[in-house]
Amino acid sequence: SQKIEQNSEALNIQEGKTATLTCNYTNYSPAYLQWYRQDPGRGPVFLLLIRENEKEKRKERLKVTFDTTLKQSLFHITASQPAVSATYLCALPDTGGFKTIFGAGTRLFVKA
């Protein structure tokens, strides 16, 4: 079955810088890939979905890329602020498309 790898180490960046998080998957390329944000003690919140035929997608200060050759998605937050400090989860459908597989997430800390 599909496996997702996200950097388990926390990412620490300075306010105003661009944060880049990586999501790698191991098997087949999914039809789409999603990114979620999770704050401590809360449920994940959907941010962006990118389809296999889309190279890049943007939403406000967020940008997601999807490279099916590298089996990788990159999640960028430009001009980061402390308020975006959270855990970011990558998610994609498993075989058959009925089940969503989540990565363990990468914790992002933005220092003022």
Partner 1 sequence: DTAVSQTPKYLVTQMGNDKSIKCEQNLGHDTMYWYKQDSKKFLKIMFSYNNKELIINETVPNRFSPKSPDKAHLNLHINSLELGDSAVYFCASSQDLGLAGEQYFGPGTRLTVT
The residues binding partner 1 (CB under 8 A) are 31-32, 34, 41-46, 49, 51, 87, 89, 93, 96-100, 102, 104-105
For the CB of residue 60, give the shortest distance to partner 1 in the complex, in Å. Answer: 16
Q: Rg (Cα) of the chain, in Å, rounded? A: 13
CB of 105 to partner 1, least distance (A): 6
Q: 84 φ, ψ to 5°?
A: -90, 5
Closest approach, Cβ 109 to partner 1, in A, equals 16
- Chain centre distance of CA 55: 14
Chain-centroid distance, C-alpha 81: 17
Q: What would the two tokens of residue 90 be? A: 């990558």
